[in-house]
Amino acid sequence: SQQGEEDPQALSIQEGENATMNCSYKTSINNLQWYRQNSGRGLVHLILIRSNEREKHSGRLRVTLDTSKKSSSLLITASRAADTASYFCATEKDSSYKLIFGSGTRLLVRP
Amino acid sequence: DGGITQSPKYLFRKEGQNVTLSCEQNLNHDAMYWYRQDPGQGLRLIYYSQIVNDFQKGDIAEGYSVSREKKESFPLTVTSAQKNPTAFYLCASSSGLGYNEQFFGPGTRLTVL
Protein backbone atom coordinates (compact mmCIF):
# COMPACT_ATOMS: atom_id res chain seq x y z
CA SER A 1 0.00 0.00 0.00
CA GLN A 2 1.21 3.51 -0.78
CA GLN A 3 1.15 5.63 2.34
CA GLY A 4 2.60 8.77 0.84
CA GLU A 5 1.46 10.62 -2.23
CA GLU A 6 3.65 13.24 -3.81
CA ASP A 7 2.42 16.29 -5.59
CA PRO A 8 3.03 17.27 -8.31
CA GLN A 9 3.79 14.07 -10.20
CA ALA A 10 6.11 16.04 -12.49
CA LEU A 11 7.75 19.44 -12.25
CA SER A 12 9.79 21.36 -14.82
CA ILE A 13 11.68 24.48 -13.81
CA GLN A 14 14.52 26.68 -15.00
CA GLU A 15 17.95 26.42 -13.43
CA GLY A 16 18.21 28.83 -10.51
CA GLU A 17 14.54 28.61 -9.59
CA ASN A 18 13.26 26.93 -6.45
CA ALA A 19 11.45 23.60 -6.59
CA THR A 20 8.78 22.60 -4.09
CA MET A 21 7.40 19.10 -3.77
CA ASN A 22 4.68 17.99 -1.40
CA CYS A 23 3.90 14.70 0.28
CA SER A 24 0.72 13.66 2.02
CA TYR A 25 0.27 10.55 4.12
CA LYS A 26 -2.56 8.79 5.85
CA THR A 27 -1.60 7.45 9.27
CA SER A 28 0.48 8.67 12.19
CA ILE A 29 4.21 8.35 11.67
CA ASN A 30 7.46 7.99 13.57
CA ASN A 31 9.42 9.92 10.96
CA LEU A 32 9.32 11.00 7.32
CA GLN A 33 12.22 10.77 4.92
CA TRP A 34 12.99 12.13 1.47
CA TYR A 35 14.99 10.21 -1.10
CA ARG A 36 16.33 11.04 -4.54
CA GLN A 37 16.61 8.65 -7.49
CA ASN A 38 18.47 9.31 -10.70
CA SER A 39 17.10 7.42 -13.67
CA GLY A 40 17.85 3.70 -13.49
CA ARG A 41 19.74 4.01 -10.22
CA GLY A 42 19.24 3.25 -6.55
CA LEU A 43 17.79 5.74 -4.11
CA VAL A 44 19.87 8.16 -2.09
CA HIS A 45 18.73 9.37 1.31
CA LEU A 46 18.41 13.15 1.51
CA ILE A 47 16.92 14.07 4.84
CA LEU A 48 14.93 12.64 7.75
CA ILE A 49 12.49 14.63 9.86
CA ARG A 50 11.09 13.23 13.07
CA SER A 51 7.44 13.48 14.00
CA ASN A 52 8.22 16.03 16.73
CA GLU A 53 10.15 18.30 14.35
CA ARG A 54 8.57 20.95 12.14
CA GLU A 55 11.42 22.02 9.89
CA LYS A 56 14.83 20.80 8.93
CA HIS A 57 17.58 22.12 6.65
CA SER A 58 20.42 20.44 4.80
CA GLY A 59 22.40 22.57 2.37
CA ARG A 60 19.95 23.74 -0.32
CA LEU A 61 17.21 21.47 1.02
CA ARG A 62 14.48 22.53 3.39
CA VAL A 63 11.89 20.07 4.68
CA THR A 64 8.79 20.90 6.65
CA LEU A 65 6.42 18.57 8.43
CA ASP A 66 2.86 19.30 9.52
CA THR A 67 1.57 16.30 11.45
CA SER A 68 -1.86 17.89 11.93
CA LYS A 69 -2.32 17.97 8.15
CA LYS A 70 -0.32 14.78 7.60
CA SER A 71 1.84 16.50 5.03
CA SER A 72 5.43 17.40 4.28
CA SER A 73 7.17 19.55 1.73
CA LEU A 74 10.64 19.47 0.23
CA LEU A 75 12.09 22.73 -1.06
CA ILE A 76 15.19 22.76 -3.23
CA THR A 77 16.57 26.27 -3.52
CA ALA A 78 18.63 27.64 -6.41
CA SER A 79 18.12 24.48 -8.46
CA ARG A 80 20.78 23.09 -10.75
CA ALA A 81 20.54 20.85 -13.81
CA ALA A 82 22.15 18.11 -11.69
CA ASP A 83 19.08 18.16 -9.41
CA THR A 84 17.09 16.51 -12.21
CA ALA A 85 15.82 13.27 -10.67
CA SER A 86 12.79 11.67 -9.06
CA TYR A 87 12.12 12.54 -5.44
CA PHE A 88 10.26 10.22 -3.07
CA CYS A 89 8.91 10.67 0.39
CA ALA A 90 8.83 7.67 2.71
CA THR A 91 7.16 7.28 6.06
CA GLU A 92 8.04 5.04 8.97
CA LYS A 93 4.89 4.37 10.91
CA ASP A 94 6.38 2.86 14.03
CA SER A 95 9.56 1.06 15.01
CA SER A 96 8.87 -1.74 12.55
CA TYR A 97 11.86 -0.81 10.33
CA LYS A 98 9.45 -0.61 7.39
CA LEU A 99 9.30 2.43 5.13
CA ILE A 100 6.33 3.10 2.90
CA PHE A 101 7.19 5.07 -0.23
CA GLY A 102 5.08 7.45 -2.25
CA SER A 103 4.93 7.40 -6.03
CA GLY A 104 7.42 10.24 -6.46
CA THR A 105 7.82 13.61 -8.14
CA ARG A 106 9.86 13.73 -11.33
CA LEU A 107 11.84 16.97 -11.36
CA LEU A 108 13.38 18.36 -14.53
CA VAL A 109 15.70 21.34 -14.16
CA ARG A 110 16.31 22.99 -17.52
CA PRO A 111 19.75 24.58 -18.01
CA ASP B 1 34.82 1.29 0.60
CA GLY B 2 31.57 0.63 2.42
CA GLY B 3 28.35 0.09 0.59
CA ILE B 4 25.69 -2.19 -0.72
CA THR B 5 26.07 -4.11 -3.97
CA GLN B 6 23.61 -5.93 -6.18
CA SER B 7 24.28 -8.33 -9.00
CA PRO B 8 23.69 -8.75 -11.80
CA LYS B 9 22.76 -5.30 -13.09
CA TYR B 10 20.60 -6.78 -15.85
CA LEU B 11 18.97 -10.20 -15.82
CA PHE B 12 16.92 -11.96 -18.43
CA ARG B 13 14.77 -14.92 -17.62
CA LYS B 14 12.56 -17.25 -19.56
CA GLU B 15 9.07 -17.83 -18.29
CA GLY B 16 8.89 -20.69 -15.81
CA GLN B 17 12.44 -20.23 -14.50
CA ASN B 18 13.45 -19.24 -11.01
CA VAL B 19 16.16 -16.61 -10.68
CA THR B 20 18.13 -15.36 -7.68
CA LEU B 21 19.20 -11.75 -7.24
CA SER B 22 22.21 -11.07 -5.08
CA CYS B 23 22.47 -8.36 -2.42
CA GLU B 24 25.55 -7.85 -0.25
CA GLN B 25 26.40 -5.12 2.25
CA ASN B 26 29.55 -4.35 4.21
CA LEU B 27 27.99 -1.63 6.36
CA ASN B 28 27.49 -3.98 9.32
CA HIS B 29 23.77 -3.26 9.15
CA ASP B 30 21.31 -5.52 10.91
CA ALA B 31 18.30 -4.80 8.70
CA MET B 32 17.95 -5.51 4.97
CA TYR B 33 15.11 -5.01 2.51
CA TRP B 34 13.96 -5.90 -0.99
CA TYR B 35 11.78 -3.57 -3.03
CA ARG B 36 10.18 -3.78 -6.42
CA GLN B 37 9.81 -0.69 -8.63
CA ASP B 38 7.67 -0.60 -11.76
CA PRO B 39 8.09 2.13 -14.41
CA GLY B 40 7.07 5.55 -13.13
CA GLN B 41 6.07 4.13 -9.77
CA GLY B 42 7.27 4.18 -6.20
CA LEU B 43 8.84 1.30 -4.31
CA ARG B 44 6.88 -1.62 -2.94
CA LEU B 45 8.28 -3.77 -0.15
CA ILE B 46 8.72 -7.45 -0.96
CA TYR B 47 10.54 -8.83 2.11
CA TYR B 48 12.60 -7.45 4.94
CA SER B 49 14.88 -8.86 7.59
CA GLN B 50 15.66 -7.25 10.91
CA ILE B 51 18.27 -9.78 11.96
CA VAL B 52 20.09 -12.86 10.73
CA ASN B 53 17.94 -15.98 10.31
CA ASP B 54 14.74 -13.96 10.49
CA PHE B 55 12.66 -12.23 7.81
CA GLN B 56 9.12 -10.96 7.28
CA LYS B 57 6.83 -10.59 4.30
CA GLY B 58 6.24 -7.14 2.94
CA ASP B 59 3.28 -5.95 0.90
CA ILE B 60 3.92 -8.03 -2.24
CA ALA B 61 5.71 -11.22 -1.10
CA GLU B 62 3.76 -13.67 -3.27
CA GLY B 63 5.99 -15.37 -5.83
CA TYR B 64 9.20 -14.36 -4.05
CA SER B 65 11.42 -16.00 -1.44
CA VAL B 66 14.42 -14.86 0.59
CA SER B 67 17.02 -16.15 3.02
CA ARG B 68 19.20 -14.43 5.60
CA GLU B 69 21.91 -16.87 6.61
CA LYS B 70 24.59 -14.21 6.92
CA LYS B 71 24.41 -10.65 8.18
CA GLU B 72 25.89 -9.22 5.02
CA SER B 73 23.80 -11.15 2.50
CA PHE B 74 20.07 -11.15 1.64
CA PRO B 75 19.40 -12.91 -1.70
CA LEU B 76 16.00 -12.71 -3.36
CA THR B 77 14.60 -15.54 -5.48
CA VAL B 78 11.95 -14.68 -8.03
CA THR B 79 10.01 -17.88 -8.56
CA SER B 80 7.92 -19.02 -11.48
CA ALA B 81 4.87 -18.33 -9.32
CA GLN B 82 5.45 -14.58 -9.73
CA LYS B 83 3.11 -13.76 -12.60
CA ASN B 84 4.60 -10.43 -13.65
CA PRO B 85 8.25 -10.40 -12.57
CA THR B 86 9.60 -7.86 -15.07
CA ALA B 87 10.64 -4.91 -12.90
CA PHE B 88 13.52 -3.04 -11.28
CA TYR B 89 14.54 -4.63 -7.98
CA LEU B 90 16.24 -2.63 -5.25
CA CYS B 91 17.95 -3.90 -2.14
CA ALA B 92 18.53 -1.69 0.89
CA SER B 93 19.96 -1.91 4.37
CA SER B 94 19.76 0.06 7.59
CA SER B 95 21.45 -0.07 10.95
CA GLY B 96 18.21 -0.89 12.69
CA LEU B 97 19.14 1.48 15.49
CA GLY B 98 17.15 4.61 16.16
CA TYR B 99 15.72 6.27 13.08
CA ASN B 100 15.71 4.18 10.00
CA GLU B 101 17.69 5.77 7.16
CA GLN B 102 18.05 3.20 4.40
CA PHE B 103 21.01 2.78 2.08
CA PHE B 104 20.24 1.43 -1.38
CA GLY B 105 22.10 -0.69 -3.86
CA PRO B 106 22.23 0.18 -7.58
CA GLY B 107 19.40 -2.20 -8.49
CA THR B 108 18.84 -5.19 -10.79
CA ARG B 109 16.62 -4.88 -13.81
CA LEU B 110 14.87 -8.19 -14.45
CA THR B 111 13.22 -8.88 -17.79
CA VAL B 112 11.16 -11.97 -18.49
CA LEU B 113 11.36 -13.04 -22.12
Which residues of chain A lie closer than 8 angstroms to B105, CB-CB? 42
From A42, A99, A101, residue closest to B100, measured CB to CB: A99
Contact B96 A33 (CB under 8 A): no
In this model, does residue B8 exceed pLDDT 90? yes
Give the Cα separation of A95 and A108 in Å (integer).
34
Strands A61-66 and A10-14: unpaired
Greater model confidence, B52 or A5 = B52
Tens-digit pLDDT profile for residues B42-52: 899 999 999 99
Percent of chain A clearing pLDDT 90 (strictly above): 81
Chain A residues lying within 8 Å of B33, measured CB to CB? 97, 99
Q: Is the Cβ pair B88, A40 closer than 8 Å?
A: yes
What's the pLDDT at B99?
A: 66
pLDDT at A1 (0 to 100): 44
Task: Examine the pLDDT at B100 and tell me if it is beyond 80.
Answer: no
Tell me what the pLDDT averaged over chain A comes to: 92
Better-scored residue on pLDDT, A95 or A93: A93
Contact residues on chain B for A50, CB-CB shorter than 8 A = 99
Q: What pLDDT is attached to residue A3?
A: 60
In B, what residues contact A, Cβ < 8 A? 31, 33, 35, 40-45, 48, 50, 58-59, 88, 90, 92, 94, 96, 99-107, 109
Inter-chain touch B107–A40, beta carbons under 8 Å:
yes
Query: Are B42 and A1 a contacting pair at CB < 8 A?
Result: no
Helix (H) or strand (E) holding A7: strand A5-7
- Has residue B9 got a pLDDT over 90? yes
The fraction of chain B above a pLDDT of 70, given in percent, is 96
pLDDT tens for B56-97 read 999 999 999 999 999 999 999 999 888 899 999 999 999 876
Q: Is the pLDDT reported for residue B10 higher than 60?
A: yes
Residue A98 has pLDDT above 90, yes or no: no
